[in-house]
């Protein structure tokens, strides 16, 4: 059994039109959301509802790096990510290829990246049906965490339609002030 947790970067700002997309930082709401998700993760791990991650792969984009920093601050723990340039704005096919290359001794991986790749990956790996998948299909908001349980022995066996979506946690589920603007 393998566990893959997907985390979309938190809300980023568009204040500086001269910044490259890669360099966009989190805005205030994004920083609060990342810390809130980190606090939830720590509590979920303490209760045994979420595994401790033994592998973390992340996009090197500034907004992903800052999301990880916020999550770490909320968890009061280090994640020690490996920054992988292939994750930046990648397709689900690229993400599947990356995941298939994870070392077999890792059982609980966290992947931090971007949409539409993460959402497409979730929809590819989790078969249709169920309330959480339907919510993910409607929208995979920023700073949302999705835990997928995979009945596989090696990451190389990852393929479509075999994952169970065990958790789908949006920042607004944890703090309504982190929900969409009205």
- Flag whether 102 is in a domain: yes
- Flag whether 91 is in a domain: yes
Is-contact 30 10, C-beta < 8 A? yes
pLDDT at 181: 61
Q: How confident is the model at residue 182 (pLDDT cuts 50, 70, 90)?
A: very low
Cα–Cα distance between 43 and 102 in angstroms, integer? 26
- Flag whether 16 is in a domain: no
- Flag whether 111 is in a domain: yes
Give per-residue pLDDT as tens, 131-176: 999 999 999 999 999 999 999 999 999 998 899 999 999 999 999 9
pTM of the predicted model as reported, rounded to 2 decimal places: 0.96
- Flag whether 130 is in a domain: yes
Task: Please say if the pLDDT value at position 103 is more than 60.
Answer: yes
pLDDT at 48: 93
CATH number assigned to the domain comprising residue 133: 3.40.50.1240
State which residues form the domain around 58.
2-10+21-178
pLDDT at 16: 83
Taking residues 6-24, what's their average pLDDT?
92
Q: Where are the beta strands (DSSP E) in the chain?
A: 2-8, 55-58, 82-83, 108-113, 145-150, 163-169
Is-contact 7 112, C-beta < 8 A? yes
Instruction: Please list, in sequence order, all residues whose beta carbon lies within 8 angstroms of the beta carbon of residue 133, skipping any fewer than 6 positions away.
Output: 122, 123, 126, 127, 165, 168
User: How many independent structural domains does the chain possess?
Assistant: 1
Percent of the chain topping pLDDT 90:
92
pLDDT at 133: 96
- Flag whether 135 is in a domain: yes
- Flag whether 15 is in a domain: no
* DSSP symbol at 71: H
């Amino acid at each position: 059994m393998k566990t893959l947790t997907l985390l979309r970067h938190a809300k980023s700002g568009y204040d500086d039109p001269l910044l490259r997309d890669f360099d966009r930082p989190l805005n205030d709401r994004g920083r609060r959301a990342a810390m809130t998700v980190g606090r939830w993760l720590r509590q979920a791990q303490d209760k045994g509802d979420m595994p401790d991650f033994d592998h973390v792969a992340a996009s090197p984009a500034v907004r992903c790096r800052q999301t990880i920093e916020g999550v770490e601050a909320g968890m009061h723990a280090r994640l020690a990510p490996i920054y992988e340039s292939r994750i930046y704005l990648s397709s689900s096919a690229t993400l599947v290829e990356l995941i298939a290359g994870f070392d077999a001794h890792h059982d609980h991986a966290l992947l931090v990246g971007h949409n539409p790749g993460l959402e497409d990956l979730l929809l590819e790996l989790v078969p249709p049906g169920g309330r959480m998948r339907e919510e993910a299909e409607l929208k995979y908001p920023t700073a949302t965490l999705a835990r997928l349980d995979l009945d596989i022995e090696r990451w190389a066996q990852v393929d479509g339609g075999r994952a169970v979506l065990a958790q789908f946690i949006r920042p607004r589920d944890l703090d309504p002030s982190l929900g969409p603007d009205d």
